[in-house]
Amino acid sequence: MALSYPKLFEPVKLGQVTLKNRIAMAPMGIVGLTNADGSLTQRAIDYYVERARGGVGLIITSLFKVEDEIDTMGGRSQCISRASIVPFRELFEQVHAYGTRIFVQLTAGWGRVSRPYATRGVPVSASVVPNY
């Protein structure tokens, strides 16, 4: 395979980050692999570390919220907090040990694609156009 796609296995630079190869793991939902406080479970850490062990150059995590007051995301909270940072540190150290880089996908919530029942109070928007 390396002979068929030689560029795939060459390092590449994204801004200030150098990836060991051009294989990237796209973000996938990890519902059920987070604790109630939004922190990663050991199973989530193991999930990402196994991908690093397999040789991927970049992992892009599932989304994690930066706020939890407007959009409830259907009641499932994966909100970054000071308490949730410790498992991320463990994840980063283990993934980096394989030479893999990891990007954490941050979000303010589902936004325009959320269901109306998933928001608390009056939705915040730049437009009066109703959701759905």
CATH number of the CATH domain containing 69: 3.30.750
Structural domain includes residue 131: no
Q: Indicate the pTM of the whole model.
A: 0.79
Measure Cα distances from 125 to 122, 128, 129, 130, 131 in Å: 9, 7, 9, 9, 10
pLDDT higher than 60, residue 79: yes
Q: Confidence class of residue 115 from pLDDT cuts 50, 70 and 90?
A: low
Instruction: Provide the residue range defining the domain that includes 81.
Output: 17-110
Q: What is the pLDDT of residues 6-33, one digit of tens each?
A: 899 999 999 999 999 999 999 988 778 8
pLDDT higher than 60, residue 77: no
Q: What is the pLDDT of residues 85-112, one digit of tens each?
A: 888 999 999 999 999 999 998 887 766 6
Structural domain includes residue 2: no
Supply the mean pLDDT for the chain: 83
Beta bridge partners of 58: 24, 101
Nearest to 104 by CA among 73, 67, 47, 58: 58
Structural domain includes residue 7: no
Q: Confidence class of residue 37 from pLDDT cuts 50, 70 and 90?
A: confident
Which are the contacts of 71, defined by CB distance < 8 A and separation ≥ 6?
Answer: 65, 108, 109, 110, 111, 114, 118, 119, 120
Structural domain includes residue 128: no
Structural domain includes residue 79: yes
Structural domain includes residue 56: yes
Cβ–Cβ under 8 Å, residues 29 and 62: yes
